[in-house]
């Protein structure tokens, strides 16, 4: 069994619940390492937008599976971030709408949707070194990577963060659905390093991950590591 990444490619997995700060942490970490950042939640949101746009109900599991199988899903790299295009269109403006927030847990619980998106993520990791964030990245998508993190924060802080972003998002409802589904639920992957970001700014979380990566010899032998560590600062 492989890491599902290319032979010389590295994967850093960052999982956590909604609004835990993991997206910002993943992006900042990827920038500091020169890795590609992959936001898997945005991929599930993109599919959800497409499903709603085509008039399907979020609980129509068979209809959604058929739609996704016949949808042209291209990917591209934009300023270090890996993005999915739906039938050639960039779904970005629609990803954070209330409709998508309300439907995404249901759509993302459909196994066929997950299979298709997981294959895309693994294909990306064959081409690039990646920081991938989501719910099941360390447990299911890249179980063999030694670099697994779980970013958490208290429910109160997470609700405050969403409100500060001006978003209406029932994060407790999504967390329950995402943690209790049968396929690839949100979980702390075996071997993951748990970080509570409740009282930490993003950069402090990134620094903690970089410290841990250094302890895991991520930067290689000492002579090499000083150069890469500086680049990562
Ligand atoms: O990270 P986010 O809140 O943008 O994710 C939106 C939804 O996508 C989340 O409620 C569940 C789903 N998701 C998933 O099922 N698996 C992932 N790896 C990432 C997100």
3-state secondary structure 41-87: HHHHHHHHHHHHHCCCCCCCHHHHHHHHHCCCEEEEEECCEEEEEEC
Task: Check if 108 has its Cβ closer than 6 Å to any atom of ligand 1.
Answer: yes
SS3 194: strand
**pTM, rounded to two decimals:** 0.92
Residue (of 133, 132, 139, 136) closest to 108 by Cα position: 136
Taking the chain (233 residues) in consecutive chunks of 10 residues, what is each chunk's mean pLDDT?
A: 68 96 97 98 98 98 98 96 96 95 97 98 96 98 97 94 85 93 96 96 97 94 48 39
Cα-to-centroid distance, 117 and ligand 1 (Å): 12
Atom of ligand 1 nearest to the CA of 15: 18
Ligand 1 close to Cβ of residue 49 (< 6 A): no
Ligand 1 centroid distance, CA of 107 (Å):
10
Q: From the alpha carbon of 95, which atom of ligand 1 is closest?
A: 4
pLDDT at position 118, please?
98
CB 158 within 8 A of CB 19: yes
> 158 CB under 6 A from ligand 1?
no
DSSP helix/strand/coil, 166? coil
- Return the ∠ at Cα 211 (arms to 78 and 133), rounded to 5°: 35
- Give the position, in ligand 1's atom list, of the atom nearest the Cα of 23: 1
For residue 134, the CA-to-ligand 1 centroid distance in Å is 6
Phi, psi of 136 (to 5 degrees): -130, 25
In a mutational test of the pocket of ligand 1, which residue from 11, 13, 41 has the highest number of ligand atoms less than 8 Å from its CB? 41
Record: fold of 11-230: Rossmann fold (3.40.50)
Measured in whole angstroms, the distance separating CA 211 from the mean position of its chain's CA atoms is 21
pLDDT given at position 168? 81
pLDDT of residue 165: 84
């Amino acid at each position: 069994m492989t890491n599902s990444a290319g032979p010389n490619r590295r994967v850093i997995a960052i999982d956590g619940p909604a609004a835990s700060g993991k997206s910002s942490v993943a992006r900042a970490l990827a920038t500091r390492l020169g890795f590609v950042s992959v936001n898997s939640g945005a991929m599930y949101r993109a599919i959800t937008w497409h499903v709603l746009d085509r008039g399907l109900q979020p609980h129509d599991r068979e209809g959604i599976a058929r739609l996704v199988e016949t949808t042209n899903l291209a990917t591209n790299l934009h300023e270090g971030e890996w993005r999915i295009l739906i039938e050639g269109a960039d779904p970005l403006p629609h990803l954070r709408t209330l409709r998508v927030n309300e439907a995404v847990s249901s759509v993302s619980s459909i196994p066929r949707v997950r299979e298709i998106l997981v294959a895309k993520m693994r294909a990306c990791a064959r081409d690039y070194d990646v920081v991938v964030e989501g719910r099941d990245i360390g447990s299911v998508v890249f179980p063999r990577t030694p670099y697994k993190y779980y970013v958490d924060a208290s429910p109160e802080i997470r609700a405050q963060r969403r409100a500060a972003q001006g978003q209406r998002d029932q994060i407790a409802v999504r967390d329950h659905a995402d943690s209790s589904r049968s396929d690839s639920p949100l979980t702390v992957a075996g071997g993951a390093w748990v970080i509570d970001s409740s009282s930490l700014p993003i950069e402090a979380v990134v620094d903690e991950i970089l410290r841990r990566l250094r302890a895991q010899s991520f930067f290689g032998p000492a002579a090499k590591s000083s150069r890469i560590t500086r680049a990562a600062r």
